[in-house]
Structure 1
Amino acid sequence: MIALRALPRGSVVAWVLVLFFVPVWVGISVGFFWSAITALTVLLLLVSWARVSLRLADGWMAAFLIVLCGMFALKGVALSPTVTAVLEWVVPYVWGRVACARVGVRWVTRTIAGVAVVAAVLGVLEFATSFNPWVLVPGPEPLYSTWSELQPRGGVLRVEGAFGHSIAFGTTLAMSSAFVIAARWRPAPTMLALGALVAAVVLTFSRTGAITLALTITLSVLLLPGLSRWLRAGIVGLGVVVAVVVPVLNSVLGAAGEEAEVSAEYRTDLLVLLRQVDLFGNAGDWATLVSGDFYLGYFERSVDNALLSILLRIGYVPTFLLIVVIFCAVLMMVRRQERSAGAIAVAGQMPSLVVVAMITQYGTFFWFCVGLAITSGAAASGQPDDEIVLERPGRGAGIPVPSRSLWAP
């Protein structure tokens, strides 16, 4: 723990490596199962305190946490969704706020970019060899069997990396593309890195990954400041090449046309579950009900819609508070000086929030990017006087009263 505190940059590198290369079924059981990425995030928060400027998003996240704890105390929400919300949404958000403040935006950006490129290259090798080494890593049941099974589409194995699911891997790489562009490498290395990410996302055969990748790269080229004309032109050229290569993806999806059609229809059918959502708390035993022509038990195993899944777990009002936090991160793109890879990564994921749940490490990285976007925006706007001290109680610790930065978006 002393080493983690003394080496903040090493802590960030360790966290990103675990995020990309340690499967979600690897962890420890202390009261309940803690995945490796969740346990490490909590540990890093305990030892890596730092000063961060309070922002409006922090107030909304605090309001969410208060409402959630109140619902749990009144038995309006069960223990499992409460623990999930705290450990997989709130804690990564706070870690994103603290990590950026500890080591700076550039270090976090380049670390994520570098590790993501390695993960992408390994993903391409996984496709070429039809071998995923992470499935050989043991884990407890039923977690291991749920996420370790490789997924085919059209008779071709989809690339999953260490994420246990092709969509989780594809969407995480899509978010990482903003960090690659923002890393400020030379044009040639940047183009090679983006090419590796694009290839890996294409080989996940995930429409969600491909769409969010295209959106993230487009937003990055249009909005990130300081990009050279040569780099922008190179990225546009890469887009043209991808437009030619994508028919390969379509041919695979065409071979699995019925599978893809069923998948799309399933996501549309999920909307019937909105009738079960309450203002506060979980939707109860909705899986035993019949609504119209739908037996809702059909959706019990999986709800592939992040917003709907959250609504069913905790209700409309707490979900609204979380949506506002996300909106605050996206708003960081409005002012040029507050734009960052984190904000663009979050904005690029808006389509995915209604077609995939926050599964495995994808959800952790998404909320980390939300926190990162808020901290990057605060650092760029230069508000050193309005700070809260996130550190252990003791001599010298204190909480200065926040002023105008609390109300900044």
Structure 2
Amino acid sequence: MGESSPLLVPLGLCAGLVALFLFRASPRAAFVAWSLVLFFVPIWVGATVGFFWAALTLMTIAAIVANLADLRLAAVDGFVAAFALLVLALFALELATLSATVIAILQWMLPYAWGRVVLARLPARFVTRTIAAMATAAAVLALLEFATGLNPFVLIPGSGAVDEWSQLQTRASFLRAEGAFGHSIALGASLAMSCSFIIAARWRPAVMLLSLLAVIGAIVVTFSRIGLVTAGLAIAATIVFLPGIARGVRWTVATAGALAAAVVVPIVGIVFADAGGEAGGSAEYRIGLLSLLSQVELLGTAGEWSARADDGISLGAYAGSVDNTALLIALRFGWVPMLLVAAALGSIAIAMVTRRANPAAIAVASQLPALFAVALITQFGMFLWFLAGLAVAWRIADDQAATDAVLTDVSSHPPKRLQPGRAAAP
């Protein structure tokens, strides 16, 4: 680790302790700091102690420790806990790899836990507006990146992952913006999830529309079909299901969205047409991934499947990347763990429709179709799991508030006591 590592370790511990005290004293500072790292610190920035710990992972651990609180559990927590325990058991039995286990626990379960505790010490409006503001700033930087052709985040040094994620992408000779997210799809999907928070932030209509315009513009210049489709789903679901939005705002957003689609769709269509084989090959690749289904086990990793063949077709072509979250989880851990994840995320989507919706639940639900076409790469996966935990915490808080309101109403207006010998009117 170099000659300076003996000094860096105690310095890092001291910095961590200072951060814990600060985050405990000011939950708002903790969430703002975490959000800044999420949106503006690349995944390759971190420290290697045994294995690589991303800066966002370290920040998430500090935020959880500093904001621990008693929680009411929900059924979704059971699915998530069962998945985590099963992953650890599979690793202990050498039926899952270290890399896959580290990703599942540090990049998925930890952000979920942070999402579950954050509302214990912070108001939902502050969380909503912070995410909306950070996404807007990230969108403006992405637009500048596209206009200038310069991404300053790729100049930040880091681990070996910098070589994997810092390569800028193009589509039909256009630079695909990726910001600090290391990949255009990760940026596009993360900004799409943020759309529901921008509408829910209750900013003045002009500010909200400008913010949405910046975010949609940034998603357009990622040239990601996943980002565009899920942004549309998130905005539509927000104006339909999110309570408390004024009717005028709903109509304004719907009208602006329709006008934006009328402008954006033809432009994006021209770019994809110019991309030709590259864009078409990307779609065909995702369809071809279905041939990997034959390799999935009930429990445990599929092993070294890339050296095998299915119906005479070599599977090695998919070894570099599996752009399908559901399939990738199944390949790494088996059908049962994948179904537990599906149950957890699916429950959040169902609750969005059947119960009081919140921005986090809408964001998660809007991404479910995308999880069959993209892996949980870089900060996108961590953001999604954080929002899953936040959606559950938000629903529990809403249920508790509704119960408290009923109890308060009953205590304020107790039923009239009947006089002896008199029956209540039918």
- Is the TM value for this pair above 0.5? yes
Superposition CA RMSD, Å? 1.5
| Equivalent residue, structure 2, for 1:99 | 118
Per-residue CA distance 1:359-388 (angstroms, 9 max, x = gap): 000000000010000000000011799xxx
| Equivalent residue, structure 1, for 2:250 | 232
- The structure whose RCO (Cα within 8 Å, separation 6+) is larger is 1
Q: In the alignment, which of 274, 291, 303 is matched to residue 272 of structure 1? A: 291
| Equivalent residue, structure 2, for 1:123 | 142
Residues 1:363 and 2:381 are matched in the alignment: yes
Comparing 304-313 with 326-335, greater Cα deviation is found at 326-335
| Equivalent residue, structure 1, for 2:133 | 114
CA–CA distance in 1 between the matches of 2:127 and 2:313?
Answer: 46
Q: In the alignment, which of 176, 180, 183 is matched to residue 194 of structure 2? A: 176
In the alignment of these two chains, the number of paired residues is 384
Would you identify which runs of 4 or more consecutive aligned residues in structure 1 move more than 4 Å?
A: none
Q: CA deviation at 1:240?
A: 2.2
Q: CA deviation at 1:286?
A: 0.4
* SS of residue matched to 1:146: helix
Per-residue CA distance 1:164-193 (angstroms, 9 max, x = gap): 100000000000001101111111111111
Say if 1:53 and 1:384, in contact at 8 Å, map to a contact too. Answer: no
Residues 1:215 and 2:227 are matched in the alignment: no
Q: In the alignment, which of 99, 103, 107 is matched to residue 84 of structure 1? A: 103
One-letter code of the match for 2:327? Answer: L
| Equivalent residue, structure 2, for 1:405 | none
One-letter code of the match for 1:147? Answer: W
| Equivalent residue, structure 1, for 2:391 | 373
Residues 1:316 and 2:354 are matched in the alignment: no
| Equivalent residue, structure 2, for 1:391 | none
Per-residue CA distance 1:41-63 (angstroms, 9 max, x = gap): 11221222012211111111111
Say if 1:332 and 1:373, in contact at 8 Å, map to a contact too. Answer: no
Residues 1:22 and 2:41 are matched in the alignment: yes
Q: CA deviation at 1:32?
A: 0.6
Per-residue CA distance 1:68-109 (angstroms, 9 max, x = gap): 222122111122111111111111111000112221211111
| Equivalent residue, structure 2, for 1:190 | 208
In the alignment, structure 2 segments of 5+ residues that lack a partner are 1-19, 404-426
| Equivalent residue, structure 2, for 1:11 | 30
| Equivalent residue, structure 1, for 2:60 | 41
One-letter code of the match for 1:315? Answer: G
One-letter code of the match for 2:360? Answer: G
Residues 1:139 and 2:155 are matched in the alignment: no
Comparing 52-61 with 20-29, greater Cα deviation is found at 52-61
Q: CA deviation at 1:300?
A: 0.5
Residues 1:344 and 2:367 are matched in the alignment: no
CA–CA distance in 1 between the matches of 2:389 and 2:360?
Answer: 8
| Equivalent residue, structure 2, for 1:301 | 320
CA–CA distance in 1 between the matches of 2:283 and 2:24?
Answer: 46
* SS of residue matched to 1:226: coil
Comparing 237-246 with 282-291, greater Cα deviation is found at 237-246
| Equivalent residue, structure 1, for 2:400 | 382
| Equivalent residue, structure 2, for 1:245 | 263
In the alignment, structure 1 segments of 5+ residues that lack a partner are 386-409
After TM superposition, the structure 1 = structure 2 runs for residues 139-178 of structure 1, keeping only pairs within 5 Å, are 139-141=158-160, 143-178=161-196
CA–CA distance in 2 between the matches of 1:94 and 1:154?
Answer: 41
Say if 1:342 and 1:372, in contact at 8 Å, map to a contact too. Answer: yes
Say if 1:153 and 1:252, in contact at 8 Å, map to a contact too. Answer: yes
Q: In the alignment, which of 67, 92, 102 is matched to residue 73 of structure 1? A: 92
Task: Tell me which structure has the larger Cα radius of gyration.
Answer: 2
Say if 2:300 and 2:333, in contact at 8 Å, map to a contact too. Answer: yes
Say if 1:328 and 1:374, in contact at 8 Å, map to a contact too. Answer: no
Residues 1:206 and 2:224 are matched in the alignment: yes
Q: CA deviation at 1:335?
A: 4.1
Q: CA deviation at 1:264?
A: 0.4
| Equivalent residue, structure 1, for 2:411 | none
Per-residue CA distance 1:189-236 (angstroms, 9 max, x = gap): 111111111100011100010000000000001011111122112212
Per-residue CA distance 1:259-312 (angstroms, 9 max, x = gap): 111000000000000100001010001011011132111111100111111110
- Report the identity percentage: 48
CA–CA distance in 1 between the matches of 2:396 and 2:343?
Answer: 17
